[in-house]
Each structure stands twice: as C-alpha cells, then as structure tokens.
Amino acid sequence: MRYGKALIALVVLTGGLLHAAAASAQERAVSFANLRFGTAPATVLEAMKGLKLTPLVNSPDQLFPLDQRFEGELRGRRVLVSALHDPDGRLEKVLIAFLTPDEDCVPLFRTLKTELLQEYGKPVVDVERWDYPYNKGGHVGQEHFALRIGRGVLATAWDRLDAGTTDGGVSLTTSETMIVRLAYESSRWTAESERRKRILSAATQGSLDDSRSSSR
C-alpha cells in the first residue's frame, strides 16, 4: 500500500508557524485499542490488559525481542494479537488474528468490513472473488468450502495518514485456514519489514553455514 498527506503551512502576519505545521505532519496514526504508532511496549501492555488480553509468556523472539503477543477473546471469539516494534521500541504494526470456526469466517469478515467502512470510508482495495466451481453464485452458502481450497479471495484495505504520509493502512483479509486477519500498519512499517527480512535472511544463512560445518 502507498499513502500520502500534504504538509499544510499556516503563515500569520507576526511570522510563519512552520513548526506547528511540521508537528502536525508528524502526528502518528491511531491503531488497534486506540494505541498510536510509536507507542512503547509498556503502554501497549497496559492497553491489552485493559481488553483482558493475556501476554503470551513464551520465550521472546531472539531476533525481534521487543515484539509482543497476546491472546484472549474479542467479540466472543478467540484472538491472537501481535504488536510489532522497531529496534527503538516504537509500535509500527498490530495484527489481530480472529480464530473462527469455518462457517463463521466469512460472516465475521463481512461484519468487520461494514464497521471499518463506516470508520474509514471508501477502501483503496476491495476484492471478493470466487473461482470455479463457486463462481456465478455457486459460492452462496459454500463460502468456507471455497476458501478452504483456495477458490475464494476476500480482501479490503484502507489508506491511513501517519507521520505526514499515507504509506500505511488498515487491511482485512481471510485465509485458507479460516482466520480473519485485521492489520494496522504504520507508514514506517515497510522499512521495518525490509529490515526484518534482511535479519531473517542472515539468520537463515547462518544456520545453513553452521549445519554444513557440523556435517563435515
């Protein structure tokens, strides 16, 4: 997703208030649980506790130790919530995974989509596709079967203003595993995602090198 925001400069007779415009341009967007991007892990923890979500106490991710994961219930459904931070502990992505029974996946997607449409307006991406033999109306009542075998696609995404640009957004998708995913990505997530890919690639290469060395 690519997003954009114009910088508004207010000039008055006594002088230009460019610093105010710059501050406005850098305002971070609100994500899940009214958390602004850039929020520290401790604040995220308190917000999730307020939703009665429990921190997962597994060993922290060795590559990304500041990331947080929570579990619990939202809207009467089991959820897993991931809060992903940059190296300085700034929140840059929140992913909510609703673990639904097969037959509840599409109805939940559509309910959430309706609510998000009311909040964010017209989406920049809106796809509902059903492939043979579920096309031409054949998907009605069979949506979860179609998704299970990869014959259906449901995906919607919205622009969001964050830190003076619209390079972030909100997306709602389903998967073949009947999980509804709601993601909030900041304008800085693309750069953070690329950084993570490099770290994962280096770690994978290191593991391969160690394996080859031990087999000699």
Q: Is residue 3 part of a domain?
A: no
Q: Is residue 6 part of a domain?
A: no
Q: Is residue 197 part of a domain?
A: yes
Q: Is residue 131 part of a domain?
A: yes
Q: Is residue 5 part of a domain?
A: no
Q: What pLDDT is recorded for position 140? A: 67
Q: What pLDDT is recorded for position 62? A: 85
Q: What pLDDT is recorded for position 112? A: 97
**Cis peptide preceding 133, ω within 30 of 0:** yes
Whole-angstrom distance, CA of residue 185 vs CA of residue 1:
10
State the total domains in the chain: 1
179 has which bridge partners?
A: 99
Q: Is residue 141 part of a domain?
A: yes
Q: What pLDDT is recorded for position 209? A: 60
Q: pLDDT 10s digit of each residue in the chain, 216 long?
A: 543 333 222 222 223 333 333 434 479 999 999 999 999 999 999 999 999 999 998 766 789 999 999 999 998 899 999 999 999 999 999 999 999 998 899 999 999 999 999 999 999 999 988 888 888 675 766 788 888 888 898 999 999 999 999 999 999 999 989 899 999 999 999 999 999 999 999 988 876 666 566 666
Q: What pLDDT is recorded for position 132? A: 84
Q: Is residue 153 part of a domain?
A: yes
**HSE of 177 in the Cβ direction (CA atoms, 13 Å)?**
5
Q: What pLDDT is recorded for position 199? A: 95
Q: What pLDDT is recorded for position 139? A: 77
Domain range for residue 26? Answer: 11-214
Q: Is residue 105 part of a domain?
A: yes
Q: What pLDDT is recorded for position 204? A: 87
36 has which bridge partners?
A: 30
